[in-house]
Each structure stands twice: as C-alpha cells, then as structure tokens.
Structure 1
Amino acid sequence: MSRRFTRSSAFTSALAMVLAGAVSASPADAATAGSEQDSPRVPTSIGYGGAVSSLDPVVSDVGLKVLRQGGNATDAAVAMAAAIGVTDPYSAGIGGGGFFVHYDAATGQVETIDGRETAPAAMEHDAFVDPATGEPYPFYPDLVTGGVSVGVPGTPATWERALERWGTTSLSQALRPATTVAEEGFVVDQLFHDQTVVNQGRFEALTSTSELFLPGGEAPEVGSVFRNPDLAATYRTLARGGVEAFYEGELAQDVVDAVQAPPVTDDTELPVPVGSMTAEDLASYEVVDRDPTAVSYRGYDIFGMAPPASGGTTVGEALNILEQFDLGSLEDPAAMHHYIEASALAYADRAAYLGDGDFVDVPVAGLLDDTFAKERACLLNPEVAAAKPVAAGDARSYDGVCAEPAAEGINPEDTESTSTTNLTAVDRWGNVVEYTLTIEQIGGSGIVVPGRGFLLNNELTDFSIEYDAEDPNRIEAGKRPRSSMSPTIVLADGRPVLALGSPGGSQIINTVTQMLINRIDLGMTIEEAIAAPRAAPQNSVRTTAEQAFVDSYGTALTGYGHTLRPTANAIGAATAIEIGPGGLLTAVAEPTRLGGGSARVVWPAGH
C-alpha cells in the first residue's frame, strides 16, 4: 500500500461537514484566554498553518493563540499544559509528571523527555504494607489520599527542558496565558463539577483542598466562574525565578511540608498517611532525555516513549504481532479478535519485563524485534480466543520458530488510574509535539499545597503494591514507577503524518493501538478512528469494552470465545493531528467522551 494514509469513501462528505463547522468557529472568535469562556468545543478542524488539540476549549484556545502569534509547537504545548493545570487540575498540573515526544522538522528526528515522578530517597520497600498485619494497605482509601504516594514532581522541569531544547519563548512568556486564566477564572462545566463531587469525601479531609475546591462546603456549580489566585501567584513565582523556584526555596519547602504533614482537618476519619519526600529529593530531581521506541508497521515508522513508560513497547509489540496478519482483508469482528489476542500477548510481556530501565533490565530491543513478534504471533489462533491470562514470552531468547505454548500466565492487578490528560500540537514549520501528563488519580493525592493552588500527585501507587524482588515494577528509592502513557508520533518516508495520545491509565495503550489499527488497517478517517467504540483487552479473562463496542461486536466475538465486560465509563479520551499532503492538517479531539474535546487550526480550510 502507499506509505501515505488512504481515506475511506466517507471522507468527502465528512470533510464537507467539518468545513461547514469550521466556518462558524473561526480562530478570531476563540483565541482568547481568561474570563471570556464562550469558546465552543470543536472536535474536528481542518486547515493549515498549525493546529492544536486537547480535551478543553480554553486550553486549545491558549495553544492556538501561541501559534498565531508566531510560537512553535513546543511553545504552544507548554502554554497549553500550564492552562490544563488551571482548568483540569484533577488530571494534571505542576504537582505531577509526564512524557513529552517531539518531532524536529529541522533534523527529522523524534526525541523525548521523561518527566516521570520519582520515589523519594527514603522510600521503603514496604511503604504500602501495614506493619501491624504484614498485609498491603487497602488501595482505597489508605493509599490514594495522603503523602505516602506522592512522587517527586517532574512537570515543571519538563517544561523548562522542552523550551530549552526546542522552544522559541521563555517559561515566563509560556506561563502568561494560564496565569490570566487562573486569575480571571473559567466557567465550570459538568465534568469539573462531577469530578469535584466524586472527590468530595477526600477533599473534605484536607483543609487547603476543601478551601479551594469546595467553597462553602459544596462543589462549584455548573456555569459558575472558578478562580485560583494562589495558582496564578505560583505561576508568577515560576515566571520570575524559573523552575529552580519550584525545586528549591520556599515553594519547595511548602511541597515537602504538605507531603510530610498533610493539612488534615480535625474531624476527618479518612486515612491520610504521611510521606517521606525531602527538600533534597526536590533539589536533586532531573528529567531524562531518552531515545524513543521505534517500530515499522505496514510501511509507517511509529515512535513512542521508552521505559519507564510501557506504552512505546506494548503498543509496538502489539502492532508487530498484528503485522503478521492481513487485518485489512478481514471483516471487522475478525480484526477485533486479532486486536484482543495481540494485546493479551503484549500485556503479558509488559507485566513480565516493564519497569524503570535505569533500575531493571528491560529487554526493549527484544520486545520490539520482528522475530520475537513472529514467535508470539504463533500463539494467536485466528479462529479461537486463547485462554487468559496468556503467559509471557522470552524476550531475551527467541528465534521466531513456533513452539508449544508456555504455562498459564499471571495477570497482576494494575492500580494505574484512568485519569491523566493529553495534548497535541503542530506548527507551521512542521514541528510536532505529543504530550501526556498527569497527577495520577482524579484529584491526585488530594493534597493542595497550602497557599500554592495546585494538587500533588499520587503516582507512587503505580508501583506494585507488594514488594517482589523479581518484579520489574517493585518499589525502590529514586525509581520511576511504570506508566502506560503512550504519546505517539507516526512518520512516513521520514516525515510526520500523525500524532496521537490519550489519558486512561493502562487503557491508554489500548486506545492508541486501536486508533492506529482503525486508521492504518481498517481504512477509517482519523475522525472515525477516534470516535469508534473501544475495547481495552489486557490479558484478562474478560475484556472491558464500551457498550457501543459490545453492541457492535459482542455476538461475533462471543463466537470466538471472548467474554466482554461492558463499562459505562469512556475508554480513553484521545487527541490527534494528521498531517496530509500539502501540509493539510486534520486536528481531532473526542466528539463525545468526557464531554468532548477541542481541536483547532490556525487557518481553517476555505477561509
């Protein structure tokens, strides 16, 4: 097939509808931040000159304004990420971390920044085990809320490093739009209100958190204006002093105090365990420039994030397995059967091998080797589902020859939250950014740093709860917990054609993999690929799936031996930008999941 994407027969009519929508929502109508919060949610925009996509219209408008004023993709991405910390503080912010993937149009290289949180130096192997019983603390509520699960944040350092490597603006300039939004406020939508209500019990246990997010003791009403002057002041502190002001000095001490002595209310009965983070932990934090993962799939070069992210290897391995089969010739239910089976095999290997590569030997080359994929594909029966969980393969010794299946596998419990957020940016020069960032749980650790206006993460719950010396994701001081974040950039003939990513915890891998299959193998447009119903196969006896997926494929997949478990929750909430011939940009965000996202282009087609 061509190394450029093909479009389905429905594309012409879809394009006409999108252009019609674009006319009614020009950039001039929606390029402001701050108190003017009337920007529409635009799930698809097509045009030229740069594009952005996020899950929030205020955030996308911030990025669009940066691009229109001459900033590049990195400038826009950092400004958008700062705005996310204001309008979506329960998913991301300067108290968390993430992974930044960048395509440099000048060099043709894909490069990445690992801004994952780290465990404090005093973190004990049994930090999550009750010494009185010798048993792990209950995940809910004991480990979710409090200081014990707070990792050293990496987001501010990620912004500094990204701007240093690829940006054209200063951190001070990048923070200005978000500072304005924090000061002037944004209109509360249903999602923000509902997520506050879900967290109300946790937030009420902490004085600083309830004061910010539960004014008058209640969640902010839909349609009200929410302001965060403390966060605006924090951003100004960073603008004046750089990220050193976060990792050293008064702000750093405030973070440490909040972790070691969370500001609990006098009457709470909620467990709020303290953490061990110190000022030295913050001062010694460093982001890491890592080589991306890379696989070739049906003529496309697909780049992702290396360990401690498990997204690059697990998406890559699943695709390598699927490349052994002609998915495009199959009916959709048969293609979904192959997707579920390949995912199970890749998730088995994820559980066996993935952790922080600076602490454990992760056989990345083996996991992404086509010969290893051929060997694993031997276990994929096109007619019958394998018994789950399947066993891991040997990614350190393989020859591609089919052999007897290994013993029954083990599928460990995964506590990675389905929160997080994602953004995509492309500029007029062809630079591309895919950035996934998080504070883990919806609401993170629940701790707002007093007087600073931001929540701290609870990322350390992404470690295996019980310590096992053979577990690659075991707890260790200074280590980064395994993540499923999967920011992905796709090249054809050395040039970018697609960037995509999603939140969703361990389901991120599924969302990205399924979107790539939809776009490359099944002939969907990128708009159709992001809207299509999803399943999240993860080597379990039952596969979690959206109800629309069950309605579409349930009967047929039952015939293969699959058991689907419907969920009322959305699986993933993706953003993507496709770069077509002549530089035509198709920016897409979720049309309905989590209320829908917002995708914008600098110059809409037809204008």
Structure 2
Amino acid sequence: MRRLFLAACAGVLLAVSCAHDKAASSVPAPPFKPEATGRGGAAATIDVRATAAAIEILKDGGNAVDAAVAAAATVGVTDLYSCAIGGGGFMVIYLADEQRVVTVEHREKAPRALHRGLFYENGAPIPMPEVMTSGLSTGVPGNVRGWELALERYGTRRLSEVLKPAIRIAEQGFEVDETFFEQTTRNVERFKLFSSSAQLLLTPDGKPRPVGSVFTNPELAKTYRLVAKGGSQAFYRGEIAQAIVGTLARPPVVPDAPRKVRPGVMQLSDLADYEARVREPVKSTYRGYTVYGMPAPSSGGLTVGLALNLLEGFEPASMSRVDFLHRYLEASRVSFADRTAYVADPEYVDVPVAGLLSKDYAAERRKAMDLASAAARELPPGNPFSFQEDPSFLPRTAAGPSASLGPSVLDVPNRETTHISTTDKAGNIVSYTCTIEAEGGSGIVVPGYGFLLNNEVTDFDVPPSPTAPHANIPEPGKRPRSSMSPTLVLKDGAPVVALGSPGGSTIITTVLQTLVNHLDLGMPLLEAVAAPRVSQRNTPDGKSQAEPEFIASPEAAALKERGHTFTSSGQIGAVTGLRFNPDGTVTAVAEPKRRGGGSAMVVEEAGR
C-alpha cells in the first residue's frame, strides 16, 4: 500500500521524518509512480516508505541484500498485517560478481510439541476460523534469523544499520490510508478478541483508526532497537522470546470473549534452536531462459518450473491468445495436482525434484492436458518418481506416489503477504517474499512489543481423516509448505527479470501468468503486471478463480465456450518486479492499482 503524502515532504529521507507532522500530512500527494527506470540501483515494494528505505540504503552504499532487509523491516511497520518480525520468508539472491544464485529460506516451523492430532476434534478437522485466530496457528518466526544470515553472508551492512529507517517510522508515525483502514476493518472482530491487538490497532471505542490519522508504534520501535543492539539472539532468546511464548500459552483474550481461542504449544527452546537455511535454488529452463526459484518447503519454484515445462511444448506465436490462455490454465491444473501430492518440507519428505522438473516428465504429463476443452474435475497427480535421475529413489513419506488430496480446509486463497524487489549498482539482485500468512496473521499482538504473530501453521494440509497420509501434514519441527514464488529469470547468463507476489496459493499462478504475459506474449513488464488475472489450482469443482476484469473480457467468454468456469475472486496478488534492459538501465515495477498500488524507485532516474 502506498502512503503518498510522505513524498510531498522535501526529499525521500525527509519524507520519513515528517510522517508525524499533521500539517505536512495534509499536503496533497504527488502523482504515484508504479514504474521507474534508471541506474545505480532500484527497488519496488507495495509501500512508498519501504521503497524509500531501500533507496536510502542503496544511496548510502549498501547493496541489494541490505536494501531488501531494510524494506522488509519497514513493511513490518507500515504494512504490519502482511510481513513482520513475527513471520518468515524466502529470499532469492543473484550474486553478480560470482554469477551465482542462492536462496535464504527462513520459513516458520512447527513447535516440537505440535502434532496433527491437535487439528482434529471428534475425528474431524477443526474449523478454519478457530485455527486461524489462535495460539495453535503460530509457527516459530524466521524473519529475524533470515535477515541476519542474509546480511552476514551476502550483505555489506549490519542489522543495526538497516533497521534504522523502520525504527524512525515506527517512532514518528505514518498516515493511515484507505488500504490500511480496509485491512483493519476486515479484521476488527478478530483484533477485538485480544487486549493487546485492540490497544495497538483500534481506537478506544473498538473501531479502525480513521484515514488521515497518524499511526505510531513505539513498542515495535523498542523491539527493533533490542534486535539492533543484540542481533537475532535478542529476538530468539531473552525477553522477546519469553513474551512470545507467554502470549501463545496464554493468549491475551478479553473478558467475555465471544469465541474460544486455543492456546499454542511453542516453548523457549523452539525459538532458541531456530535456524535459517541457505539452499540451492530450483533451476529450470524455458525457451532459452534460465529460471530460478525457491526450493521446498516452498512449492513455488517447482510448480512454476513444471508449468513452464508443460507450456514449452506449445508455440504461442502459432496460436491465438485464447488458445494459449487455455493451455496456461490446463498447465496450472496439472502442475497443482503434483504440487499438492508431493511437495513438503524436504527435511521430512523426499521431494522428487528431478522428476518434477524433467522435460521427459513434462512430455508425459502434457498428455493429461485436454487441448480442446477444460477439465471439469480435479486431476490426479502423475508419477514423477520414475523420472528421477536415481531410479532407486523412493519417497520417505507414507503418502507415496499415488497420494492425492484436494485443497485443505485451511488452504484458502488471497492470504496477505508482500514481495520486495531490489538491485544495486553492482548488479546484485534480491527477489524476496515475506509473510505472516493471513491478513493480520493470528490476530494476536505480542503485548508490549508491537508486532503480530503469524498463523503459518495453517499452511499444513489437514486431510479429512486424522489417519490419512499426506506429505504436508503437521509434524513436530516441520516447516509447512508454502506457495511463495520469488523468481529470477536470466538469459545467456544475464539477468532479464525478477519478480514475485503475495496471494496464498494464487502466488504461483500470478507469477506464472506474469511471466507468460511478459516472455511469451511480449507485454512490457508493467503491462504484464497490470493485466487481469485468472488462477487455476486444480480444485475439486474444476473452476478457476478470476478477477472481475478478466471475467468480463472477450478471452473469458471464448474460454467459457471451451468448458472453463470462473468464480469471481476480487483482486489477485500484488506483484513487484525488476526488468533489466539491454542498455544497462533497470525498470522497477509495482502494482499500479491492486492493494492501493505500489511504489517503484531508482537511485538515478534515466535521462537525469
């Protein structure tokens, strides 16, 4: 979300410092910029202050990793419903001097005392609302450890330095805009359940803070200062850790709360022992491009890679746009069938990565795509195990290659998350998606520390039966499968595009559709991002979710004649990305309208 009044203050840095000035906040905002082209570095986020924080770090000599962490910490202040230190994320990094891609996985993980039985009552899954707003839903947060690891290995600044813009904004405040107001409004009843959440996020009479008011968060500023001084140990041990564990064990529920709130099972040792991971990226090819994404426990890289492999068998120039859109939807359907069955935490499940990304497997799975009409049902998964490089490879999970499961009762679309895209003058790139899961996470603010706790445990699959096998079931210490899909695309060794999106399981289709729009259909990146979206995720009813603009399009009408059916979803995703141009400039792009629009900036604008 953008809060553009800030830019009316003189300069980007002064914009942050004048946030608390009510006179300044009434100054009309300048035109909003979802696109910027230039040199010396670039950033794109969903919030103007987060983008400005990244540019501030770049102008001060920091690199893309430093800038990404600064932006994420700032989002934790200005868009605390989407990404905060109470959550986790996935970071894909291109190291220009080494021409190498690495990933930093700092996904939340289940506490050791958590097991699948906690998600059933009387033999049936607990209803989603009860799990979502509870201590039981919170995984061990990963962001702080991930930020520190990324900075230590690949950055140039200390955590204490990159937290400064976020601390400044938390202390001095920012003006509530329409998007922030709407996010609060959708969660008022949840926030009212908890005294700490109501105190921070609502007015004394229990209403959303009005548009135009100034929102400050001195408790979060205090928390950031503790982390700035003590590093990640200040978060995972000591007073913050004790506050997290105490909050989950005894949620600060108001007297006479209208609903039951289940406690969590996290212990201090879960926090103290948390580790971020440096993992090899998922690597695939597509029409001469090299595509890098996140490996498991994210399903994004594998599912996007498989879908692109399926689409590679068709030439978009030789068919109509409707023909290609039909193939895009059917490729998504097939890919999601395999994603649901096989992708989970690789420390608990042997994920058939080589098989899923095999070109031969894609050729086999392409046979499941009906080129004439849409599948009106949920497709079963294929068998990627026979395409593994090692023919003796067998899965450790009891689910086996024939396992199939429809969407979990906890797998609802349009989860709130955010994506950050940064690059620097040396050519390093960061594509970073971070989250606290649902909009507002668990709904529980840690009393005295100013941040919401995630409800990431809801990303596990909970089969209808408590004894049914599945790769992504809840287990002690396990990381739930994610759909986050930070992506980098190179050609002949040179970066072409970096992008990602929020949106729950629609993240995968949003990234895939944006790539198809840009790489196959020739749309400029901003146009590819702005185009109406449609998401097919192999649901039991066979339907695709689509934005109203897509449903009203001539393409949708033609697809309906082929058997496609659509349900209106409202907005899908909120992409930010970078396009690396042949002349050496970079074009930063953010959503022009979705979620109130994003913010794109460069260090030095082209032509200046």
TM-score of the two chains, using structure 1 as the length reference: 0.92
Q: Does the alignment pair 1:411 with 2:406?
A: yes
Residue by residue over 1:486-519, the C-alpha shift from the partner in whole angstroms, topping out at 9 and shown as x without a partner, is 0001111112111000000000000000000001
> What is the aligned partner in structure 1 of residue 394 from structure 2?
none
Mind listing any 5+ residue stretches in structure 2 that lack a counterpart?
1-6, 20-24, 389-400
The correspondence of residues 373-392 of structure 1 with structure 2, limited to 5 A, is: 373-392=362-381
Q: Does the alignment pair 1:126 with 2:117?
A: yes
Q: Distance in 2 between matches of 1:35 and 1:218?
A: 26
Q: Distance in 1 between matches of 2:210 and 2:31?
A: 19
Q: Does the alignment pair 1:505 with 2:488?
A: no
Give the alignment partner of residue 434 of structure 1, picking from 427, 431, 434: 431
Give the alignment partner of residue 254 of structure 2, picking from 245, 265, 269: 265
* AA at the equivalent of 2:438: Q
* AA at the equivalent of 2:510: T
> What is the aligned partner in structure 1 of residue 202 from structure 2?
214
Give the Å deviation of 1:382. Answer: 2.4
Q: Does the alignment pair 1:101 with 2:96?
A: no
The correspondence of residues 130-279 of structure 1 with structure 2, limited to 5 A, is: 130=121, 133-140=122-129, 142-216=130-204, 217-279=206-268
- Report sequence identity in percent: 48
> What is the aligned partner in structure 1 of residue 79 from structure 2?
88
Q: Distance in 2 between matches of 1:469 and 1:478?
A: 20
Give the Å deviation of 1:127. Answer: 1.1
* AA at the equivalent of 1:517: V
Residue by residue over 1:249-297, the C-alpha shift from the partner in whole angstroms, topping out at 9 and shown as x without a partner, is 1111001000111111112122210000000000000011111001100
> What is the aligned partner in structure 1 of residue 522 from structure 2?
523
> What is the aligned partner in structure 2 of residue 42 from structure 1?
33
The correspondence of residues 293-372 of structure 1 with structure 2, limited to 5 A, is: 293-372=282-361
The correspondence of residues 522-601 of structure 1 with structure 2, limited to 5 A, is: 522-540=521-539, 541-552=542-553, 553-567=555-569, 569-601=570-602
* 3-state SS, counterpart of residue 359 of structure 1: coil
* 3-state SS, counterpart of residue 368 of structure 2: coil
Q: Distance in 2 between matches of 1:516 and 1:121?
A: 39
Q: Distance in 2 between matches of 1:58 and 1:543?
A: 35
Shift of the 96–214 alpha-carbon distance from structure 1 to 2, 3 Å rule, reads same
* AA at the equivalent of 2:12: A
Give the Å deviation of 1:34. Answer: 3.6
Q: Does the alignment pair 1:425 with 2:422?
A: yes
> What is the aligned partner in structure 2 of residue 450 from structure 1?
447
Q: Does the alignment pair 1:58 with 2:68?
A: no
Given that 1:309 and 1:483 are in contact with CA atoms closer than 8 Å, whether structure 2 keeps it comes out as: yes
Q: Distance in 1 between matches of 2:432 and 2:16?
A: 21
* 3-state SS, counterpart of residue 215 of structure 1: coil
Shift of the 565–415 alpha-carbon distance from structure 1 to 2, 3 Å rule, reads closer
Q: Distance in 1 between matches of 2:348 and 2:70?
A: 33
Q: Distance in 2 between matches of 1:534 and 1:516?
A: 12
Give the Å deviation of 1:28. Answer: 7.1
Q: Distance in 1 between matches of 2:317 and 2:94?
A: 29
Residue by residue over 1:129-169, the C-alpha shift from the partner in whole angstroms, topping out at 9 and shown as x without a partner, is 12xx22221112x1111200100000000100010111111
> What is the aligned partner in structure 2 of residue 33 from structure 1?
16
* 3-state SS, counterpart of residue 118 of structure 2: coil
Given that 2:536 and 2:544 are in contact with CA atoms closer than 8 Å, whether structure 1 keeps it comes out as: yes
Residue by residue over 1:556-588, the C-alpha shift from the partner in whole angstroms, topping out at 9 and shown as x without a partner, is 001211111122x21110000011113211110
Give the Å deviation of 1:374. Answer: 0.6
Q: Distance in 2 between matches of 1:150 and 1:26?
A: 39
* AA at the equivalent of 2:93: H
* 3-state SS, counterpart of residue 295 of structure 1: strand
> What is the aligned partner in structure 1 of residue 3 from structure 2?
none
Give the Å deviation of 1:464. Answer: 1.3
> What is the aligned partner in structure 1 of residue 495 from structure 2?
496
Aligned residues: 574
Runs of 4+ in 1 over 6 A off after TM superposition: 25-28, 406-409
Q: Distance in 2 between matches of 1:410 and 1:343?
A: 16
Shift of the 26–254 alpha-carbon distance from structure 1 to 2, 3 Å rule, reads closer
Q: Distance in 1 between matches of 2:257 and 2:494?
A: 55
Residue by residue over 1:166-188, the C-alpha shift from the partner in whole angstroms, topping out at 9 and shown as x without a partner, is 11111000100000000000110
Q: Distance in 2 between matches of 1:465 and 1:209?
A: 28
Give the Å deviation of 1:380. Answer: 1.9
Give the Å deviation of 1:408. Answer: 12
* AA at the equivalent of 1:584: T
Q: Distance in 2 between matches of 1:247 and 1:29?
A: 37
Give the Å deviation of 1:387. Answer: 3.4
Q: Distance in 2 between matches of 1:468 and 1:61?
A: 50
Residue by residue over 1:447-499, the C-alpha shift from the partner in whole angstroms, topping out at 9 and shown as x without a partner, is 11110000000000111124455301011000000000000011111121110
Shift of the 416–386 alpha-carbon distance from structure 1 to 2, 3 Å rule, reads closer
Q: Does the alignment pair 1:77 with 2:65?
A: no
Given that 1:415 and 1:462 are in contact with CA atoms closer than 8 Å, whether structure 2 keeps it comes out as: no
* AA at the equivalent of 1:117: E
* AA at the equivalent of 2:386: S
Shift of the 410–388 alpha-carbon distance from structure 1 to 2, 3 Å rule, reads farther
* 3-state SS, counterpart of residue 46 of structure 1: strand
* AA at the equivalent of 2:115: E
Residue by residue over 1:526-570, the C-alpha shift from the partner in whole angstroms, topping out at 9 and shown as x without a partner, is 111001110011113111101111122221001211111122x21
Residue by residue over 1:39-81, the C-alpha shift from the partner in whole angstroms, topping out at 9 and shown as x without a partner, is 7531111111110000011111111111111111011000000
Q: Distance in 2 between matches of 1:50 and 1:381?
A: 45
- Superposed CA RMSD: 1.9
Give the Å deviation of 1:35. Answer: 3.1
Q: Distance in 1 between matches of 2:405 and 2:115?
A: 26
Q: Distance in 2 between matches of 1:577 and 1:78?
A: 17
